[in-house]
Amino acid sequence: MIVNKETIVQLASVQKRLDNRTLTEYRTPIVIETGISWTAEGSARVRIGDNIVIAGVKLSIEKPYNDTPDEGGIMVNAELLPLSNPEFETGPPGIKAVELARVVDRGIREAKAIDMKKLCIIPGEKAWFISIDIMTINDAGNLFDTAGLAALTALKSAHFPVVDESTGAIDYHQKTKVSLPLVKEPLPVTVYKINGSLLVDPTLEEERAYDARLTVTTDDSKTVSALQKGGTAPLTIDEVGRIVDLASEKAKFLREVLNKALR
Amino acid sequence: MSNVLVQERDIVIPGEILAEGMDYLPGENTYRKESAIYSKVLGLVSIPGRVIKITPLAGPYIPRVGDKIIGKVSDITLNGWRVDTGTAYSAFLNVKDATTRFIKKDEDLSEIIAIGDYVVVILVNVTSQNLIDLTMKEPGLHKISGGRIIHINSQKVPRVIGKQGSMISLIKEKTGCDITIGQNGHVWIKGTTNGEYLAERAIKLIQEKSHQDGLTERMQKFLEDKRV
């Protein structure tokens, strides 16, 4: 894709893109659906342009970790299905899948988005553990933002299953009205730097042409909870400042879309 | 006693019975089994006279001698370039078919065409094993620089070109872009950013709507409306 890469790089310097979007414009439509899986406690399908990602939340009761006896926990796992991009292979998760899962995980974990203390049932013995699974259905570029949005939507839509008081067994077929103790809404926005210009929501071709990228996870109060830098080129302090501003503005936009969809 | 079970421009799927009895003949993409004619592919039926043919809606590009295609250079060997044509088969562009210039023995071939470059080439030979020989020596064949490459279904290429090139010259005229279409479904567009974008959308639209009637009028309207 050398030709398109050259053209993308040239256009970026004059603030233009191949598909005539502005640099800070997301693709349309952004479609958010919840409850797509009846086996999961919470699930979501998110579509940004041609990008489709599904996320599911499963809840289980486990023994808390020894260093945090009064807290539950979260786990994030991402799978890049071979169906979604010809470059993805079956087998153990590769570097891209691990990075995707860790970026989403760190955003939620470090924002302290879930009140872990409220997940504890009996300190040192029983606590709820949240497992988030992310699957890419179609990769058209910008999996980070789509996956982050899908994970948050799934968390928001999740409800605890019914637990039998006497035996302690979980009945996954019945759900209570209680949703997860979600106190913040962190959303990752990845800003790409191509030929000195900063842009969001890259297509697959733009993802092949970038110099550097920075994923910034911000919550409702614009507090930055996590950063992830990628690419070979360096970023100046001034650029990082501009990226964080842009990311928090775009996260606010995505959060509005999300809340409109869930209402 | 024969009867045709489908009509002109019906969409059929592989294995679908098109006609019973011996009065009709199986044409392109169909086959006869016992006394019935079946479809081999997903496509549109056409019945000119007593022959039943199917125009496929999708499918891979089958290399044919004389086709102009756009390929991507995937490897450099001692005496030429290996070119990815978007088919399952390997294509080769020899040094002697790539340039009229004299090339010295130790010259670095990547300075002429590098890996990842796109080239407009013509198929000169397809062996029985479907190995393809290419040439870049005829007029209009060159290495591509600038602009953008898009991919379309190779079965739709004739529709994008139109009758005697009517559709493609319409798009060229309205968008002011240079457009080169490879038979393998790679299309190179070069012009202004807005023009390129409009041409890309137009070609994608043709690909989607190609089986419907009145395509040229529809495109004319589309391009008039969106003209910048």
A29: preceding bond cis by omega (within 30 degrees) = yes
User: Contact A1/B149, CB-based, under 8 Å?
Assistant: yes
Contact (Cβ atoms closer than 8 angstroms) between residue A259 and residue A251: no
What predicted TM-score, i.e. pTM, was given to this entire model? 0.85
How distant is the Cα of A29 from the closest Cα of chain B, in angstroms? Answer: 17
DSSP notation for B58-116:
S-PPPP-TT-EEEEEEEEEETTEEEEE-SSSS-EEEEHHHH-SS---TT--GGGTS-TT
Please state the separation of Cα B96 from the chain's center in Å.
Answer: 26
Looking at residue A42, its amino acid is G
**Domain of residue A184, CATH code:** 3.30.230.70
Q: Which amino acid is at A33?
A: E
Question: Of B219, B70, B71, B72, which is closest to residue B159 (Cα–Cα)?
Answer: B219
B21 — pLDDT class (breaks 50, 70, 90)? confident
Nearest to B197 among A1, A3, A19 (CB): A19
Give the nearest chain B residue to A5 (CA atoms).
B148
Two domains, one topology: B3-56 and B68-135: yes
Alpha-carbon distances of B86 from B66, B79, B152, rounded to whole Å: 16, 22, 11
Q: Residues B87-120: pLDDT tens digits?
A: 888 899 999 888 888 888 788 888 889 998 999 9
Per-residue pLDDT tens digits for A65-124: 999 999 999 999 999 999 999 999 999 999 999 999 999 999 999 999 999 999 999 999
Helix axes A95-110, A143-157, angle to 10 degrees: 50
* Model confidence at A50: pLDDT above 90: yes
* CATH 2.40.50.100 correct for B3-56: yes
Instruction: Give chain B's mean pLDDT.
Output: 88
pLDDT of residue B227: 62
Closest Cα to residue B171, out of B128, B204, B138? B204
The predicted-structure confidence for B34-55, as pLDDT tens digits, reads as follows 889 999 999 989 888 889 999 8
Give chain A's domain count.
Answer: 1
Per the listing, tokens 């071979």 go with A82
| pLDDT of the residue at B187 | 94
Contacts of A7 in chain B (CB under 8 A): 146-148
Which pLDDT tens digit goes with each residue over B114-126? Answer: 998 999 999 999 8
What pLDDT digit, counting tens, does each position of A120-146 carry?
A: 999 999 999 999 999 999 999 999 999
How is chain B split into domains, by residue range? 3-56, 68-135, 148-226
- Tell me the three-class secondary structure of A109-132, residue by residue: HHCCCECHHHHEEECCCEEEEEEE
Residues of B in contact with A1 (CB under 8 A): 116, 149
Query: What are phi and psi for residue A116, nearest 5 degrees?
Result: -65, -30
- Residue B4 binned pLDDT confidence (cut-offs 50, 70, 90): confident
Contacts of B114 in chain A (CB under 8 A): 2
CB contact under 8 A, A3 and B197: no
Q: Which of residues 6-65 of A touch B (CB under 8 A)?
A: 6-7, 11, 16, 18-20
Three-class SS state of B120:
strand
Number of helical H runs and strand E runs in chain B: 5, 16
- Out of 3.40.109.10, 2.40.50.140, 3.60.21.10, 1.10.1740.10, the CATH code matching B68-135 is 2.40.50.140
Mutate to test the interface with B, among A1, A3, A13, A19 (most CBs of B within 10 A): A3
d(CA A10, CA A4): 10
Instruction: Domain of residue A48: give its range.
Output: 2-262
Nearest CA in chain B to A10: B146
| pLDDT at site B228 | 52
d(CA A135, CA A2): 29
Q: Is the pLDDT of residue A236 over 90?
A: yes
DSSP 8-class letter at A16: -
- Residue A138 to residues A53, A103, A144, B88, Cα–Cα distance (Å): 7, 19, 13, 23
Please report the number of interchain residue pairs, chain A to chain B, with beta-carbon separation below 8 angstroms.
31
Architecture of the domain defined by B148-226: 2-Layer Sandwich (3.30)
